[in-house]
Amino acid sequence: MKRLGVNIDHIATLRNARGELHPDPLYAAKFVKKSGADSITIHLREDRRHIKDDDAKKICSLKKILVNLEISTNSKMINKALKIKPNFICLVPENRKEITTEGGLNLKKNKNKIKTIISKFKRKRIRTSLFINPSIKDIKTSYELGSDCVEIHTGKLSRLIKSKKNYFKEFHRIKKCSYIAKKIGLEVHAGHGLDYKTTQLLSRVNEIEEFNIGHYLIGESVFFGLSKVIKNFKKVIK
């Protein structure tokens, strides 16, 4: 059974646009869970452009909700994450000027740093995932570094599909990486830029166990309601 993680960052984006308290990400986390999501994803960015420290603290303290915290490898962020203690952590690269996470982690450049971070999370029994591009080399490195999971960046695949370009090669790259990752003992997740069509296509990849979906899902909920859209995605990944 594949799982759906709902990224609620853009509930905070909407709240921050007005600088007041509504819509509340904490309420959203509870609502999303009630609507059938398997986990909640939040990205505490270094510039705090959407989720803020207080949101992360409150959401991670919810007892009955599994929370996946995305953070950069910056030491201040790591210390914060260790204090907040979410159920899961996904390490992501961060570049202040980007609109969204543009690519996977540079594992080659940050091997030792990431290995140390993973061991700190393991000591706190936090499941760790690395957000990587679909590359066999990065899959193998993730395993060597001690990660529990990999989240494969599906942004390129999504862009190709949306612009009606040939996506065959990229889809097969993801499929092959997922197969190898699972075979060597990593849990496979997928995320970034996913809509119904891309999620449906990726649902055919048996090894993918979790999807983390944000922007499109929240956008669709403006028209059809958050609960309905979550249920639709659950049907798509079934």
194 binds ligand PXP (CB under 6 A): yes
Tally of residues, the chain: 238
Q: Which is nearer to ligand PXP, 92 or 181 (CB)?
A: 92
Q: Which is nearer to ligand PXP, 20 or 141 (CB)?
A: 141
Contact (Cβ atoms closer than 8 angstroms) between residue 70 and residue 93: no
132 binds ligand PXP (CB under 6 A): no
Q: Report in angstroms how near the CB of residue 136 gets to ligand PXP at its nearest.
A: 19
147 binds ligand PXP (CB under 6 A): no
Q: Which is nearer to ligand PXP, 20 or 200 (CB)?
A: 200
Q: Report in angstroms how near the CB of residue 191 gets to ligand PXP at its nearest.
A: 3
CA distance 40 to 71: 14
Phi, psi torsion values for 185, nearest 5 degrees? 105, 15
Stretch in the footprint of ligand PXP (CB under 6 A) among 141-149, 176-184, 189-197, 229-237: 189-197
Contact (Cβ atoms closer than 8 angstroms) between residue 43 and residue 36: no
Stretch in the footprint of ligand PXP (CB under 6 A) among 25-33, 49-57, 198-206, 209-217: 209-217
Write down the catalytic residue from 50, 192, 207, 210.
192
User: Degrees (nearest 5) of the Cα angle 8, 105, 181?
Assistant: 90
70 binds ligand PXP (CB under 6 A): yes
Indicate which single residue of 191, 202, 220, 237 sits in contact with ligand PXP (rule: CB under 6 A): 191
Three-state SS string over 133-192 comes to CCCHHHHHHHHHCCCCEEEEECHHHHHHHHCCCCCHHHHHHHHHHHHHHHHHCCEEEEEC
Sign of CA dihedral 9, 14, 16, 21: negative
**What token pair was written down for 229?**
């859209």
192 annotated active-site: yes
Stretch in the footprint of ligand PXP (CB under 6 A) among 22-30, 54-62, 177-185, 210-218: 210-218
Cis ω before 25 (30° cut-off from 0) = no
Active-site annotation, residues: 43, 70, 192
- Interface positions with ligand PXP (CB under 6 A): 7, 9, 43, 70, 90, 92, 100-101, 131, 151, 191-194, 212-216
